[in-house]
Amino acid sequence: MAGSKPQSFLDLIVSQSAQSRFDEAKALFPEWKSADILFQLTDDELSRHTSLFKETTVKTSLLQSYLFFAIELKGRDYARGKLTGIARQINRVFPMPVMVMLKHGDLLSIAVINRRQNKVHADKDVLEKVTLIRDISLASPHRGHLDILASFAVQNLVHPQKKPIQDFDT
């Protein structure tokens, strides 16, 4: 996305889907100060542990991948439901999961959403619960928040059978 302008994000959404299901009101779009795609993590990067910041375009053909977005909001204090609403609206647009990092004031919140296949229409996904790590202080993060963030490192991800994680199917 060019220049981290929120309008560039809307343009990306329009290019992703002729029937955009993005609700600007639920996504608090007028509150957005900036919006950036950080990277797309694919099976290839998981198995090779290469640099994640080389490519910043979205490849929708890579369904076995994960997108990472950063959004800066104009205000500081937002209710949990408002932050999860932003993540839900962004995830509705893309065929792969999106982790959304929300900067609001001197705080960071990270939203991740679970997906599953629709039981009636196998070609559709159902967005489930949004997990939110909320109000991480950027100046002085709490020890618990640091531990959670460290657990996101690829080398710290654990396969149920203690095998190395090579792709999104494990």
Is residue 1's pLDDT more than 50?
A: no
Q: Give the pLDDT mean for 142-154.
A: 88
140 against 42, higher pLDDT: 140
**Contacts of residue 67, Cβ cutoff 8 Å, sequence gap at least 6:** 37, 39, 40, 41, 58, 94, 96, 97, 98, 99
Q: Which residue has the tokens 């007028």?
A: 30
The residue ranges of every structural domain in the chain are: 6-156
**Contacts of residue 55, Cβ cutoff 8 Å, sequence gap at least 6:** 39, 40
How does pLDDT run across 44-77, given as a tens digit for each residue?
A: 766 655 544 455 555 444 457 889 999 999 999 9
Is residue 11's pLDDT more than 60?
A: yes
Phi, psi of 84 (to 5 degrees): -70, -30
Phi, psi of 67 (to 5 degrees): -95, 150
How does pLDDT run across 92-111, given as a tens digit for each residue?
A: 888 888 999 999 999 999 99
